[in-house]
Amino acid sequence: TLLDESGKLVTHAESGLGKDFLPMVERLKRGQLLACAQQALKQSEPVVTEDPGSTCTDCPLSANSAGRSAATVRLEYERKVYGLLSVSVSCQTATDVEELGLFHELATDIAFALHSMELEEQRKQMEQALRESEKKYRLLAENVTDVIFVQDMDFNVTYISPSVTPLSGYSVEEALNKKIQDFYAPDSLAQAMVSFQKAAALANTKKDIKIPPMEYEYVRKDGSTFWGEIKVTFLRDSEGRAVGVQGVLRDISERKRAEEEMRVKDNAIASSINGIA
């Protein structure tokens, strides 16, 4: 029996009971756990009910347990409880320490399998989130001069617009085979990595994080450099986890040159005034 965080039924499987199990299903849907189930959720070791027929009068299955015992254990892996495993066993088995140990191992194996399935589902959701984002912005990206890109949390570029070629000299295929940090000048790379790590840490605790535009120096394929302004937002899966980054890179070399020329002029004027004084 798999349960959600509130203790209500998610799904179930049974063997040998057929329609006799349906009343139990309805009870689980309402979140009405039996005493043995409640106890099993509180402890790691199996809970043994030696005579369910006489001690569990509210159990819909007690009539099927004449002359037998029951054992119930939680399905737990890495501190996450997925549900419960309950079996009807002989009275002798119910008191056999070794048999109960094997029962516990079986529950752990099932929980591990559920954990693995959960990880695989999360991975698929992450990939789907990235694919949907890429599809959404591909048409726009292919018709602008700014470079639009998508990367995962390991800095692997999964999409980049064709405008990367006139700006950097790299073809789309070449750019996709590079890490995003391969495009940064050394000093800017150090700054960008620190900024990204801080933003990623915040993104895991705050969903509406807003990252201000940043200016970095980038390296073209031929070794020349240019200044770019980058704006990024985090991509999230269906559960709100950050799974990647979508960014827009704009060439601001002309603006930087104009700013430098203005700075030089201001310094020259300031020097002239100081000289007169």
What was the pLDDT predicted at 142? Answer: 65
Low pLDDT (below 70) residues in the chain: 134, 136-143, 271-272, 274-277
What was the pLDDT predicted at 261? Answer: 86
At the topology level of CATH, where does 142-261 sit? Beta-Lactamase (3.30.450)
CATH architecture of 2-122: 2-Layer Sandwich (3.30)
Name the segment(s) of the chain with CATH classification 3.30.450.40. Answer: 2-122
What was the pLDDT predicted at 277? Answer: 56
What was the pLDDT predicted at 2? Answer: 85
**What is the model's pTM?**
0.48
What was the pLDDT predicted at 17? Answer: 82
What was the pLDDT predicted at 141? Answer: 60
Name the segment(s) of the chain with CATH classification 3.30.450.20. Answer: 142-261
What was the pLDDT predicted at 137? Answer: 64
What was the pLDDT predicted at 227? Answer: 95
- DSSP for the chain reads -EE-TTS-EEE---SS-GGGGHHHHHHHHTT---HHHHHHHH-SSPEEES-HHHH-TT-TTGGGGTT-EEEEEEEEETTEEEEEEEEEE-HHHHT-HHHHHHHHHHHHHHHHHHHHHHHHHHHHHHHHHHHHHHHHHHHHHTT-SSEEEEEETTSBEEEE-TTHHHHHS--HHHHHTSBGGGGB-HHHHHHHHHHHHHHHHHHTT-TT--PPPEEEEEE-TTS-EEEEEEEEEEEE-TTS-EEEEEEEEEE-HHHHHHHHHHHHHHHHHHHHHHHH-
What was the pLDDT predicted at 59? Answer: 85
Q: Read off the pLDDT of residues 98-122 as tens digits, 9 standing for 90 and up.
A: 999 999 999 999 999 999 998 888 8
